[in-house]
Structure 1
Amino acid sequence: MNLDTWIKKYKNIVVEGPIGVGKTSLTKKIADKYQLRTVLENAEENPFLRKFYADNEKYALPTQLFFLFQRLDQLIELSQTDLFETNLISDFMLEKDAIFAGITLSELEMSLYRKIYENQSSQVCNPDLVIYLQADPGTLLDRIKKRGILMERDISMEYIVNLSNAYNKFFYSYEESPVLIVNTTHLDPIHKSEDFDLLMNQLKIFKGRRAFFNAI
């Protein structure tokens, strides 16, 4: 495996961000370039998700619990992988589950959810690097509409704003792993090779625990 020097430091990379920001596409593109193993979310396997988008209040708890156990299964299995044998990249971290739960669950539901989450989350290892993708809510909603996933057609601007704010609040105080924060409102590393190269260069020169990349 021929890896650039920068990526050799990071055995376990996560690309994170709100719905529509392009995390799965970027994860796949980086994996293809550097021949990394991928660990991807399987949102379509959640039988409650379509109903949740149609009726948030009624289906929030079963939707969130399904995702929590699904993500736990994937990440616990991942923690048992010999990372000395393979570099990998994923499009989610367990903490995202609590971010979504915080904006969708009632106070009573959140109390139950938190007990389950705190009892299970210690089994999951922190990533070596997080690439946190941002975009303004209008851009996110436009991207969601353009990709045309049927069950996402009822996602509201209010939901996107709340989700974006929750992500920003979480990463403002997140210190468990190094984080490169990338504003993708005017950056398209998925479809523009020059933008992808810009981002890869930022990763190559990234040092310390936190940096911000805003291409204008």
Structure 2
Amino acid sequence: MAEVPFIAIEGPIGIGKTSLSKKLAERFNFQLLKEIVEENPFLGKFYDDIDEWSFQTEMFFLCNRFKQLEDIERKYLNQQKPVVADYHISKNMIFAKRTLQADKFEKYEQIYHILTADMPVPNMMIYLHASLDTILNRIQMRGREIEQNIKASYLAQLSEDYESYMNEFEIMHPEIPVIRINGDQLDFVKHQDDLDAIIAQVQEQLSNFISVTK
């Protein structure tokens, strides 16, 4: 686990990960790491036909996230510069387990473990979750054309998968604090008080580090 603060924000599609990561990066003067989404050439086809395009989509995400983390470790974490990311690379397994057929998942899993064996691990997780209605509303509000064909049933299942994953994560990694944020109750984009409440929780966890960038 990195000795310098390395925060990862996770949750289902449209929940506000990038928005929150930007606000925290600005507040604490951390380096911002954003996942590559719209640059994925297979994503639109994936939402139209998950079975046909899932392997290509997941492999693109995995390779690009591996390269991003490799760069962020070399340029920032190894230089004792804090980072906040709008994803955790282990999310790849959440999606892959749901979308890939058994034979392709087996191949994918092998590649995943090889690539991530020595990757930097976040030492704080922020988990954003909300009801399906809230998620659908936020996806509609941000208006990404590529996401308009996402089925509500897929998002509902994804939310359940994330909940199971985070429950397992807390059991497997008790040394990594997890801040859970209910998106039905807090809207940190529209309400400064909600954002301040989240910042206070993050600040409390950051106090455990000897040196934090002000």
Is the contact between residue 27 and residue 38 of structure 1 (CA under 8 Å) also seen in structure 2?
Answer: yes
**In structure 1, what is the Cα distance between the partners aligned to 2:83 and 2:113?**
25
Bigger relative CO (Cα 8 Å, ≥ 6 apart): 2
Give yes or no for the alignment of 1:16 onto 2:10.
yes
- 1:79 corresponds to which residue? 73
1:157-191: CA deviation from partner (whole Å, max 9, x where unpaired): 11111111111111101133221111111211122
Could you tell me which residue of structure 2 aligns to residue 59 of structure 1?
A: 53
Query: 1:200 corresponds to which residue?
Result: 199
Question: In the alignment, does 2:114 pair up with 1:119?
Answer: yes
CA contact (8 A) 1:38 1:89 kept: yes
Give the structure-2-normalised TM-score: 0.88
5 Å-filtered alignment, 1:42-191, equals 42-83=36-77, 84-174=79-169, 175-176=172-173, 177-191=176-190
Matched letter for residue 50 of structure 1: G
Distance 2:23 2:35 in 1: 15
TM-score with structure 1 length normalisation?
0.87
1:211 aligned partner = none
Give percent identity, aligned residues only: 34
Can you list the C-alpha shifts for 1:41-62, whole angstroms capped at 9, x where unaligned? 1111111011111111110000
Question: Is residue 22 of structure 2 the alignment partner of residue 28 of structure 1?
Answer: yes
- State the alpha-carbon separation in 2 of the partners of residues 22 and 82 from structure 1: 24
> CA separation in 2, counterparts of 1:204 and 1:44?
31
Aligned partner letter, 1:178: P
RMSD: 1.6
Cα separation, 1, equivalents of 2:76 and 2:56 = 33
Is the 1:138–1:157 Cα contact (8 Å) retained in structure 2?
no
Q: Which amino acid aligns with 2:35?
A: E
Instruction: Give, in whole Å, the separation in 2 of the partners of 1:105 and 1:16.
Output: 21
